[in-house]
Amino acid sequence: MTSLEDDIVSEVVSWAEVHKDTRALARQIHTKGTFKGIIAITRGGLIPAAIMARELGIKLIETVCVEAYRDDAAELSGSVNVMKEASMAGDGEDWLMIDDLVDTGTTAKAVREMMPKAFFVTLYAKPEGRPLVDSFVKEVAQETWVFFPWDTQLQYSKPIGTDKG
């Protein structure tokens, strides 16, 4: 018997892919000018921000802490809870803002309103959120759930062909 989880379209991103894709994003934007610093959108933007800081030689990293998903249900809550603003970044002028993924654009709209002049990038973009970012590396289908390495663990997976019934 199949379960709902079997019907989820998903993409599992490895640590190596996050590193490779962040470096590809750094190559895309390194000619855009000098940034005062990086604004990481927590939590997903923290690791890409660290890699980006290394690649672009940026020492100053600020965070904006927002939540649009409920941790217990992995679904959109419909609103954004701002837990911490990026106080040093002002309107975002000359700052690079980074997140792991733009999905429906709920979080992106909220941080864009806070810092409209920031150069906003994500590793991955879904069609609904793509217009809200200035640059990204890969587009994924709207219905795809992206699993990042910081949200998963390695474990055995039963072969599909063993489900007979």
Does 26 reside within a domain? yes
Annotation says 100 is catalytic: yes
Residue 3 domain-assigned (yes or no): no
Domain membership of residue 1 (yes or no) is no
The pLDDT value given to residue 77: 52
37 in Cβ contact with 56 (< 8 Å): no
Q: Is residue 8 part of a domain?
A: no
Options 99, 134, 151, 163, the catalytic residue: 99
Judge whether 125 lies within some domain. Answer: yes
pTM: 0.84
Q: What is the CATH number of the domain that holds 152?
A: 3.40.50.2020
Q: Which of 100, 134, 151, 163 is catalytic?
A: 100
Examine residue 98 and state whether it is found in any structural domain, yes or no: yes
pLDDT attached to residue 5: 57
Segments forming the whole domain that contains residue 132: 16-162
Q: What is the pLDDT of residues 95-125, one digit of tens each?
A: 999 999 999 999 999 999 999 999 999 999 9
What confidence tens digit (pLDDT) does each residue in 40-79 have?
999 999 999 999 999 999 999 999 999 886 555 445 556 8
Residue of 21, 71, 94, 103 marked active site: 103
Query: Can you tell me the distance from the alpha carbon of 36 to that of 33, in angstroms, rounded to the nearest whole number?
Result: 10
* Domains in the chain, number: 1
For this structure, is 103 an active site residue? yes
The mean pLDDT value for 136-160 works out to 91
Residue 2 covered by a domain: no
In a domain, 41, yes or no: yes
Q: To which H or E segment does residue 123 belong?
A: strand 119-125
Q: Write the pLDDT tens digit of every residue in 2-16.
A: 454 556 789 999 999
* Residue 47 one-letter amino acid: I
